[in-house]
Structure 1
Amino acid sequence: MIKELSRKEREKLMRREAIIDAAEYLFDTHGFDSATMEEIAEKAELGKGTLYLHFKSKVSIYLAICERGSNMLNQEMGKVLTQDLNGLQMVEKIGQVYLNFIRENPLYFNAFNYYESILDQEKYSDNPMIEKCEDNAREAMTFIVRALQVGMQDGSIKDSIDPKELGIIIWGASKGVMHMAFMKQKQQHHKFLDDVEVSFESLIENFITLIGSGIKN
Structure 2
Amino acid sequence: MKTKMTRKERERKARKELIIDVTEKIIEERGYENITMDEIAEKAEMGKGSLYLYFKNKTSIILAICDRGSRILTQSMSKVLTQEITGLEMIEKLGQTYFQFIKDNPLYFNAFSYFEGLMNRDALDESPMAKKCEENAKEAMTFIIRSIQIGMQDGSIDSSYNPKELGLIVWGASKGVVHMAYMKQKEQHMAVLDEVEFSLESLIDTFMQLVGQGMKNTDHQSENV
TM-score by length of 1: 0.96
Aligned to 1:188: 188
Q: Cα distance, 1:10 vs. partner?
A: 1.3
Q: Using the TM superposition, give the Cα deviation of residue 123 of structure 1 relative to its aligned residue in structure 2, in angstroms.
A: 2.5
Q: Deviations over 1:127-153 (max 9, x none)?
A: 111111111011000000000000000
> In structure 1, the residue corresponding to 2:214 is in which secondary structure?
helix
Name the counterpart of 2:120. 120
Matches within 5 A, 1:89-108: 89-108=89-108
Instruction: Report the alpha carbon displacement of residue 163 of structure 1 after superposing the two structures with TM.
Output: 0.5
Aligned to 1:215: 215
| 3-state DSSP of counterpart to 2:33 | coil
Identity of aligned residues (%): 59
Q: Distance in 2 between matches of 1:124 and 1:194?
A: 36
Residue 31 (structure 1) shift: 2.0
What letter matches 1:126 in structure 2?
A: E
Q: Could you tell me how far apart the structure 1 residues matched to 2:203 and 2:25 are?
A: 27
CA shift digits 1:154-201 (9 cap, x unpaired): 000011111000000000000000000001111111222223221222
Per-residue deviation at 1:2?
2.9
Give the count of matched residue pairs: 217
Amino acid of the structure 2 residue aligned with 1:169: I
1:69 aligned partner: 69
State the distance in 2 between where 1:151 and 1:46 align. 52
Q: Distance in 1 between matches of 2:156 and 2:124?
A: 43
Unaligned runs of 5+ in 1: none
RMSD of aligned alpha carbons = 1.1
Provide the rounded CA distance (Å) in 1 between the counterparts of 2:95 and 2:124: 31
**Secondary structure class of the residue paired with 1:62:** helix
Greater shift in the superposed pair: 117-126 or 169-178: 117-126
Partners of 1:124 and 1:74 in 2: how far apart? 22
Q: Deviations over 1:28-68 (max 9, x none)?
A: 22222211001011111222122111100000001001000
Query: Mind listing any 5+ residue stretches in structure 2 that lack a counterpart?
Result: 218-225
TM-score (norm 2): 0.93
Give, in whole Å, the separation in 2 of the partners of 1:76 and 1:85: 16
C-alpha separation in 1, matches of 2:44 and 2:213: 48
Consecutive aligned runs of 4 or more in structure 1 exceeding 6 Å deviation = none
Per-residue Cα deviation, 1:45-97 (whole angstroms, up to 9, x for no partner): 22212211110000000100100000000000000000111000000000000
Alignment of 1:196-207 (within 5 A): 196-207=196-207
